[in-house]
């Protein structure tokens, strides 16, 4: 329909708009379409990145299949039901210090969420057990 418009530009505009009609309107209104941006080369991971981040960068499937306890290597704390004290909310002087505080806050939040989840599950189990006893008693 528009032989003078490059196919790459049409694909790019279709991805942006999601509508053939809108893309046609853009061509008719402007007489052309912008070319897609040039692909950027992948950036190498920063050397100061933690091992948990570098380990999960190999693919999406790995991060989907692993849970947060495994990803942050918190198995020992999870087995002992240990939740550390909340880390301070202080801005570190160096990037390494800020990264360490950020990592400890993430670990704290994961363990805190796990603790709340286990408490909810225990409450649900107790309620189900109580309800089952009520049903047995009324029958």
How would you class 13 by CB atoms within 10 Å of its CB: exposed for 0-12, middle for 13-18, buried for 19 or more? buried
Residues 79 and 17 in one domain: no
Residues 122 and 69 in one domain: yes
Domain that holds residue 84: 64-138
Q: Which two tokens stand for residue 103?
A: 């990592």
Residues 70 and 125 in one domain: yes
Q: Which two tokens stand for residue 53?
A: 């981040």
Residues 74 and 20 in one domain: no
- Nearest to residue 49, comparing CAs of 104, 100, 10, 93? 100
Residues 70 and 123 in one domain: yes
How many other C-beta atoms are found inside a 10 Å radius of the C-beta of residue 111? 20
pLDDT values of the chain reduced to their tens digit, one per residue, 139 residues = 888 888 989 999 999 999 999 999 988 888 888 888 877 777 776 665 444 444 444 444 444 446 777 777 777 777 777 777 787 777 878 888 888 888 888 888 888 888 888 899 999 999 999 888 888 888 6
Residue 89 domain-assigned?
yes
């Amino acid at each position: 329909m528009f032989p003078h418009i490059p196919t790459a530009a049409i694909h790019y505009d279709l991805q942006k708009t999601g509508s053939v009609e809108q893309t046609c309107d853009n061509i008719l209104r402007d007489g052309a379409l912008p070319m897609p941006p040039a692909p950027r080369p992948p950036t190498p991971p920063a050397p100061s990145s933690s091992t948990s981040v570098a380990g999960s960068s190999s693919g999406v499937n790995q991060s989907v299949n692993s849970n947060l306890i495994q990803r942050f290597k918190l198995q020992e704390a999870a087995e002992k039901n240990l939740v550390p004290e909340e880390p301070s909310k202080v801005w570190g002087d160096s990037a390494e210090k800020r990264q360490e505080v950020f990592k400890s806050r993430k670990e704290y939040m994961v363990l805190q969420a796990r603790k709340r989840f286990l408490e909810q599950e225990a409450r649900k189990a107790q309620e189900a057990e109580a309800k089952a006893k009520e049903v047995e008693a009324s029958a």
